[in-house]
């Protein structure tokens, strides 16, 4: 069952949620390439991560937008400015082709009934060379097994599964990392333990993280050169780059 926007908002406002937002944002900054003046879109519930990226980059020319699926609901963001959020359909994003420089997916892919279609739609709106970063619960760790946090809902993924899925949609992974190395302690003081133990456990091995972060760039394929004479019965090449 997909958590609604109010449940997600309450989680990230809690001590554990604030710790999660800070720890995942630290790893996200290590993967996300700077695109001054570009368009950055967060799909799902990426508000804590958009806040962290926008604050770090201080890019006055860039645009940061938050798209939230209709099944989840939408909320106002940022709180002190005009809203930059929109209620969207996962598979029909309200953006023209090649118009987005960076995509951040959080609490999105694991809830998609058609993950391949979602990634293909993101491929459509990404500019050539545009970047996508997926934040997905790791199926081999406790964060995906316990439903006390939003990461315990939906379909978790392994690193190999993400790599295969993204490569099939012309989004070949270029880097990865993990976050949330300790289990989701919800009792008082648990958020502090999760925060302090993060760096120590991460040094022991990235595979221990409860959340996977995988980044990729949009790959564009060119068409084969046209033959001098058409061959009857040969299929016509279509798709991205077919008219190049």
For position 230, what pLDDT does the model report?
A: 42
Instruction: Specify the pLDDT at position 61.
Output: 81
CA dihedral (158, 24, 16, 90) positive or negative = negative
- pLDDT (0 to 100) of residue 186: 87
Domain that holds residue 133: 5-217
The whole-number pLDDT of residue 232 equals 44
Pairing of strands 85-88, 211-217: unpaired
Does residue 46 fall inside a structural domain?
A: yes
User: With 50 as the cut, is the pLDDT of residue 142 above it?
Assistant: yes
**Token reading at 160:** 């190999």
The dihedral sign for the CA sequence 42, 48, 52, 58: positive
177 falls within a domain? yes
Number of domains the chain contains? 1
90 is a domain residue: yes
- Quickly state the pLDDT bin for 225 (edges 50, 70, 90): very low
The answer on pLDDT for 133 being more than 90 is: yes
Residue 225 in domain: no
DSSP secondary structure of 112-177: -SSHHHHHHHHHHHEEEEEEEEEEEEBTTSHHHH-TTSGGGSS--B-HHHHHHHHHHTT--EEEEE
The pair phi, psi for residue 200, each rounded to 5°, is -65, -50
Domain of 201, CATH number, reads: 3.40.50.150
**pLDDT higher than 80, residue 204:** yes
Q: Does residue 154 lie within any of the structural domains? A: yes
The reply to whether 237 falls in a domain is no
pLDDT of residue 192 exceeding 90: yes
Q: Which pLDDT band holds residue 180 (cuts at 50, 70, 90)?
A: very high
Q: Which two tokens stand for residue 70?
A: 């209709």
Does the residue 57 lie in any domain? yes
- Ranges assigned E (strand) in the chain: 39-44, 63-69, 85-88, 100-106, 126-137, 173-179, 211-217
pLDDT digits (tens, 9 = 90+) for 90-128: 899 999 999 999 999 999 999 999 999 999 999 999 999
Report if residue 232 sits inside a domain.
no
What pLDDT does 188 receive? 87
Res 76: pLDDT:
94
Residue 52 CB: number of other CB atoms within 10 A? 17
In this prediction the pTM is 0.87
Tens of pLDDT, residue by residue over 230-244, are: 444 434 444 444 443
Tell me the pLDDT of the chain averaged across its residues.
Answer: 89
């Amino acid at each position: 069952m997909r958590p609604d926007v109010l449940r997600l908002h309450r989680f990230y406002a809690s001590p554990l949620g604030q710790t999660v937002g800070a720890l995942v944002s630290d790893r996200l900054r290590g993967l996300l390439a700077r695109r001054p003046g570009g368009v950055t879109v967060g799909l799902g519930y990426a508000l804590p991560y958009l806040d962290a990226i926008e604050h770090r980059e201080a890019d006055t020319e860039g645009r940061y937008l938050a798209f939230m699926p209709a099944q989840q609901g939408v909320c106002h963001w940022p709180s002190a400015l005009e809203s930059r959020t929109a209620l969207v359909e996962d598979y029909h994003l309200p953006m023209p082709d090649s118009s987005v420089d960076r995509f951040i997916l959080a609490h999105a892919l694991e809830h998609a009934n058609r993950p391949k279609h979602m990634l293909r739609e993101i491929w459509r709106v990404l500019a050539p060379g545009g970047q996508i970063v997926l934040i997905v619960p790791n199926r081999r760790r406790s964060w995906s097994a316990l439903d006390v946090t939003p990461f315990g809902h939906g379909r978790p993924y392994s690193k190999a599964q993400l790599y295969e899925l993204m490569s099939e949609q012309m989004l070949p992974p270029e880097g990865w990392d993990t976050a949330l190395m300790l289990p989701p302690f919800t009792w008082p003081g648990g958020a502090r333990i999760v925060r302090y133990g993060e760096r120590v456990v991460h040094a022991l091995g990235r595979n221990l993280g409860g959340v996977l972060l995988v980044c990729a760039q949009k790959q564009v394929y060119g068409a084969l050169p046209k033959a001098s004479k058409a061959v009857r019965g040969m299929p016509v090449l279509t798709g991205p780059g077919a008219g190049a």
